[in-house]
Amino acid sequence: MSRRPESARPGQPRLGAVPGADGVVFTVWAPAQRELALVIDGRPDIRMTPEPEGYFTTRVSDVREEDRYWFRLAQGLRPDPVSRFQPDGPFGPSMVVDPHAYRWRTRNWTGAAPRHRQVIYELHIGTFTMDGTWTSARERLPHLASLGVTTLEVMPIAEFDGRFGWGYDGVFLFAPYHGYGTPADVRGFVDAAHAAGLGVILDVVYNHLGPSGNVLHEFSPSYFADETEWGQGFNLDGECSGPVRHFMRENVRHWLEEYRFDGLRFDATQALIDRSPIHIVHELTDHGRASVAPRRIYLTAENERQDASLVRQSDTDSGVDSLWNEDWHHSAVVALTGRREAYLSDYQGTAQEFASMARSNLLYQGQWYSWQKQPRGSDSRHHPHAAFVCFLENHDQVANIGTGRRLHHGVDRGKWRALSTLLVLGPSAPLLFQGQEEAVEQPFTYFADHQPPLSDLVQRGRVEFLSQFPSLSSQEVRERLPVPSDEEAFKACRIDWRTTTAGQEARELYTDLIALRHADPVLSRLGTREVTVDSSAPTADLVLVRYTAGEDARLLLINLGALTCCAMNDPLFAPDQHHRWELVFCCEQLKYGGDGVHTSFTEGRWRLQAHCAWLFRSTRPDESVDL
Q: How far apart are CA 358 and CA 146, in angstroms?
A: 28
CA terminus-to-terminus distance, the chain: 66
Q: DSSP alpha helices (H): ranges in 78-147?
A: 125-128, 134-138, 141-147
Q: How far apart are CA 376 and CA 371, in angstroms?
A: 10
Asked whether the bond before 453 is cis by omega within 30 degrees of 0, the reply is yes
In the DSSP assignment, the letter for residue 43 is: S
Contact 147/511 with Cβ under 8 angstroms? yes
> Does the annotation mark 570 as catalytic?
no
Q: How far apart are CA 158 and CA 423, in angstroms?
A: 31
Indicate which residue of 169, 302, 393, 505 is catalytic.
302
3-state DSSP of 218-281: HHCHHHEEEEECCEEEECCCCCCHHHHHHHHHHHHHHHHHHCCCCEEEECCHHHCCCCCCCCHH
Q: What's phi and psi for 103, nearest 5 deg?
A: -100, 105
Indicate which residue of 159, 237, 267, 321 is catalytic.
267
3-state DSSP of 129-197: CCCCCHHHHHCCHHHHHHHCCCEEEECCCEECCCCCECCCCCCEEEEECHHHCCHHHHHHHHHHHHHCC
Q: How far apart are CA 495 and CA 444, in angstroms?
A: 9
Closest alpha carbon to 71 in 54, 58, 89? 58
Q: How far apart are CA 408 and CA 201, in angstroms?
A: 26
> Does the annotation mark 250 as catalytic?
no
Measured CA to CA in angstroms, residue 90 lies from 41, 159, 178, 207, 502 at distances of 17, 7, 9, 19, 42
Residue 57, C-beta contacts closer than 8 angstroms, at least 6 positions apart:
13, 25, 26, 27, 28, 48, 49, 51
Active site (catalytic) residues: 267, 302
